[in-house]
Amino acid sequence: MGNTRSKVLPAPSEPVTEQVQPVYANSEPVPSFADAGPHWHGWQPVKHFFVFGASYCSIGIIGRPRPSDELPLGTAWPGTTYAERGAPNWVGHLVARGSPDHVTGVPLTFCYAVGGARVDNVRRQIRQLFLGEEESIDPVQPAGQKPDFAPWTADDSLCSTWVGINDLAFGADPEENIARLLEAHTKLYDAGLRNFMFVNAPPLHRFPKYASRKRETATSPEERWNAVLARKVAEWKHDGREDASVFLYSAYDTFSRVFDNPPAYGFQDTKGMFVDHLHPSSAMHKIIAHDIAELLDGAVHAPV
């Protein structure tokens, strides 16, 4: 594993066929990037994994999770996901490191994600459920307060946030909503967390739910969201948080590559990528987890 302070990871070289759906005229690649700080040592050493988001991340836990060495997801692996029944999403695939036989011990995964969540709901996940800033009837102590079952440190923890798809469905303004999202992440930083992964929006205009809709603008809403997200998370780090690690995983890039050539990723056609009109199949989630692991393990802060 090479050491680097800042690394942009290009898409793996894959044979490309003609795109199955036309893309927007001004579409450009939306790459992942990593800006690692001194508290990041790669994915493998992570002991505490905090997940905020919506249906793509949900494992069926409502409220405050309390994982253990025996149940590192806080529930029986792979939890209840929006993929096929009994099948893991990217969270389960990532924690399992490629094999369910490995789902013991670390990382302890605290998943707050719920289906349908938008930015304001993720703010609640962070402030009420994780940090305990607001009253809650949940008897489990907030993990953000470092209870005995969650003795996280800046060096052994990672926060992941994937939100935006539901916001886009309601015509949310990217500038305003991402600013509000980062306000909540400032709370996480102030609590002592230092490693943050953000996930952008996939190419929704190619999804079954939206592919038949008329395209009226040159740039898709998700592309605008992603451009604002990339800019704002970089600004957020460099606004007095130089010791933070910021990763932007491009779901847009991963989905685009698979859409362009499904057989190269084990699918007969694009239908295998989904379980319905919007939610990815477990096989697609496995590709997502693989790409996330490459991003996280490919960027380690170079010692001074």
245-251: average pLDDT? 98
5 vs 198: which has the higher pLDDT: 198
Confidence of residue 2 (pLDDT cuts 50, 70, 90): very low
How do residues 58-116 score in pLDDT, each as one tens digit?
999 999 999 998 899 999 989 999 999 999 999 999 998 766 655 555 699 999 999 99
* Per-residue pLDDT at 209: 85
Out of 23-37, 85-99, 182-196, 272-286, least confident range: 23-37
How do residues 100-142 score in pLDDT, each as one tens digit?
655 555 699 999 999 999 999 999 999 999 999 977 778 889 9
Q: Residue 15 pLDDT > 90, yes or no?
A: no
* Per-residue pLDDT at 170: 95
3-state helix, strand, coil in the chain (%, to 5): 35, 10, 55
pTM, two decimal places: 0.88
Q: Are 165 and 121 in contact (CB under 8 A)?
A: no
* Per-residue pLDDT at 171: 94
185-194: average pLDDT? 99
227-240: average pLDDT? 97
**What domains can be seen in the chain, in order of their start residue?**
6-297 (3.40.50.1110)
Q: Residue 211 pLDDT > 80, yes or no?
A: no
Q: Residue 12 pLDDT > 80, yes or no?
A: no
106 vs 16: which has the higher pLDDT: 106
31 vs 1: which has the higher pLDDT: 31
* Per-residue pLDDT at 19: 33
Q: Residue 292 pLDDT > 90, yes or no?
A: yes
* Per-residue pLDDT at 124: 97
User: What percent of the chain lies above the pLDDT cut of 90?
Assistant: 76
* Per-residue pLDDT at 104: 59
User: What percent of the chain lies above the pLDDT cut of 70?
Assistant: 83
Mean pLDDT value across the chain? 87
